[in-house]
Amino acid sequence: MTIHTSDNSCDHYAEYSRLYRENPQQAYITANRHSELELLRTLSEAEEDVRIGRIAPIEESFRDIRESLKL
């Protein structure tokens, strides 16, 4: 897994595009220069949510949001 800032990804798009086509792997692009630690913490929390079953289908989630907003 690699982590890049959005600025860096724009500056080196051709290089990254070639690299990931030749060697597919996970790459994360951070916005607003979030630190690698913040991103890894967020990913860890997401993995924990999946592990303990704290997930729901996206359709259900949007339905609940619409209902709460009375749309």
CA 20 to the chain's CA centroid? 17
Hey, where are the domains in the chain? Answer: 1-34, 39-71
Question: Which pLDDT does position 11 carry in this prediction?
Answer: 78
Geometric angle at alpha carbon 30, from 2 and 48, rounded to 5°: 75
Residues 7/34, Cβ–Cβ less than 8 Å: no
Rounded percentage of the chain residues whose pLDDT exceeds 90: 21
In tens, the pLDDT along 37-60 reads 777 788 888 899 999 998 888 899
28 bridge partner residues: 3
pLDDT tops 90 at residue 63? yes
Rounded percentage of the chain residues whose pLDDT exceeds 70: 73
Helices assigned H by DSSP within 12-70: 13-22, 36-51, 58-69
Question: Which pLDDT does position 40 carry in this prediction?
Answer: 78
Question: Which pLDDT does position 22 carry in this prediction?
Answer: 85
